[in-house]
Amino acid sequence: MAPAKFSGPWLPWYHGDFLRATQGWTVTERGVYFLLLGASWEMGPLPDDRRRLAGIVGAQLDEFDEAWKTVRPKFVLTDAGLVNHRLDFHRDKQALRSEKARQSVMNRWQEKLPLDTDEHTNDDTNVPTSAHTSDDTSAHTNGHTKSIRSGYSSELRTQNSEKGKNTKLKASFHDEVIAAYHECLPNQPRVKQWTKTRASLLNARIAERCKDGKPADGIGYWRDFFGKVAASDFLTGKSSDFTVSLEWLVRPQNFLKVIEGNYDNRPRMNGTGRHAP
């Protein structure tokens, strides 16, 4: 099992909640649950293999099997493996906090960069009309397109390794991404507000992928990305009660899992161990 893409230096622990959630459990059951939570924090999704899990907690197989009857409902089987949603929630919170700090540093450096002198000027003639409804209306201010909903400019300088030069996104690009999200994932939660925090998450993903040579500064990249999400039964709630939002998708840990295929559908198996028709 590959290590987790992000795990904070410490595991947040709420002892009262743990005791309440395991009330009536034996000391062995509580010990197995505690050790598996710690392993998942370090490793990410756990293998759906009781022998390997028994090895992780250092228990004999028969001892583990008895405790696993009680502990198993605390974990959900996904395409990536067994996960505990509350643990992932706290992991995402730490990742978001780390991302905010990193983005703050990036923003300070970007402020020191010289203004571009290429074809990206204050002329808005090449800015396409937003496909949003009245909630997503844009306005022109000082030659740039700004979102009325948040009052920020999504303008971002990115380094595209294929082009070998800095490019600058037009200010309406975030609106295009939001429109593509609504179009490709019509049943997912709609974006009501696009805050600075959400904008910084999207900017960071664009900058990272452009640096890796991927055309994330073009709307086609995001349509393909949302198409991948739409094809996942897990992410769209078809195989579980879980559902995703645009903010969830552009968080660093979640974004990486999606593009690496952790949530792709797996072939169903019948009782003989063969692929079901």
> 132 and 178 in contact (C-beta within 8 Å)?
yes
Within-domain flag for 209: yes
* Phi/psi at 5 (5° precision): -70, -30
What's the number of domains the chain is made of? 2
Mean pLDDT of 85-105: 68
Residues 160, 99 share a domain:
no
Higher pLDDT, 22 or 8: 22
Within-domain flag for 210: yes
Residues 148, 103 share a domain:
no
> 273 and 205 in contact (C-beta within 8 Å)?
no
C-alpha span between 180 and 175 (Å, rounded): 9
DSSP-derived secondary structure letter, 137: -
Read off the pLDDT of residues 28-83 as tens digits, 9 standing for 90 and up.
Answer: 999 999 999 988 888 788 999 999 999 999 999 999 999 999 999 999 998 889 98
Residues 68, 160 share a domain:
no
Residue 171's identity, in one-letter code, is A
- Give pLDDT, residue 158: 53
Within-domain flag for 239: yes
Pick from 108-117, 186-195, 232-241 the range whose average pLDDT is largest: 186-195
Residue 237: CA count within 13 A, CB half-sphere:
10
Given 54, 89, 107, the domain boundary residue is 107
How many other β-carbons are positioned within 10 Å of the β-carbon of residue 148?
A: 12
Q: Residue 240's domain spans which residues? A: 144-266
Given 107, 135, 162, the domain boundary residue is 107
Read off the pLDDT of residues 198-235 as tens digits, 9 standing for 90 and up.
Answer: 999 999 999 999 988 999 999 999 999 999 999 998 89
User: Which residues of 102-170 form beta strands (DSSP E)?
Assistant: 138-141, 144-147, 157-160, 165-168
Q: Of 83-87, 154-158, 272-276, which gets the smallest average pLDDT? A: 272-276
